[in-house]
Structure 1
Amino acid sequence: MRTPSASLRLAPITPDNLDAVCALSVRPDQEHLVSPVVKSLAEAYAHGETAWPRAILDGDEVVGFVMAFLDIAWDPDKDPHDIRSGLWRLNISAAHQSKGYGRFAVEEVTAELRRRGTTHAYVTWHTGPGTPEPFYLSLGFRPTGEESDGETVAVVEIANL
């Protein structure tokens, strides 16, 4: 695994990086597991009050995309006080996987959530071939026993990251 450079950072999506972010693609065997970045950006636009989209940059190169969700009522009909934040989408370019970029992005998202006063971060994943489950489990996420749109829901205490 290559160590990401010291110039690794998350950056807002801007006119200068939009094309590179939209051009990101995961491996073909992962395409059924994560939506394309362009759909994420549309969702960010539609849910502007709760979406936090960012490009993952190593120097000037876009190597991935991450989007957090901030303070969403999980199931308002069941418990309107169950407000959650976490990782909505993570796309690492096929050419840049297994180099630490995903771990960096999750750590940066949880740091942002911590700055906002959040104590837990949530994520969901599809199970089956190519699932990101081992990656998220290695970061300390644990299944809650819930499902969301057929995906496993998991949580981690942010203080543990």
Structure 2
Amino acid sequence: MKWKSLAATMMLAALPFTAQAVEPDEILDDPALEARAREISKDLRCVVCQNQDIDSSNAGVARDLRLLVRERLVAGDTDAEVMEFVRARYGDYVLLKPPFKLETYALWLAPALLLLFGAGTVIVVLRSSRARSVADKLSDDDERMVAEILTAENEVSS
């Protein structure tokens, strides 16, 4: 029991460290630029962590991307230009919300297709079990025979 509470305490203690991965040396002096960098970083995927934005990832690649975003903002790029620059370098995969186009159809449609496949599987299984239970019912003659056998066994055991 002690191990469980120790593990829970350690996980709770680690939460503040995972929430902010931006290092102090990355933060821009201009608060407006830093706020823009944070917003852009929340829309970019860490290519190592996959479903984590670069703003909260501790991976080295995420740090490089955060620095790149800040570098582009200091150079005078708009938010859209920064996003396009990063997308041009890393592809649509780096965007947490990729555009809906031929190359990304699988990303957008896979969850719905998997849901439909799962629902179809459930329906097929339920129907086959229902059909099987109907087929397993005894005819009247079979039920009479079973009743006779059970009656005969009860008389023998008494």
Q: Same fold (TM over 0.5)?
A: no
Rg comparison, structure with higher value: 2
Which one scores higher on RCO, CA 8 angstroms, separation ≥ 6?
A: 1
TM-score (norm 2): 0.27
Larger helix proportion of the pair? 2
Larger strand proportion of the pair? 1
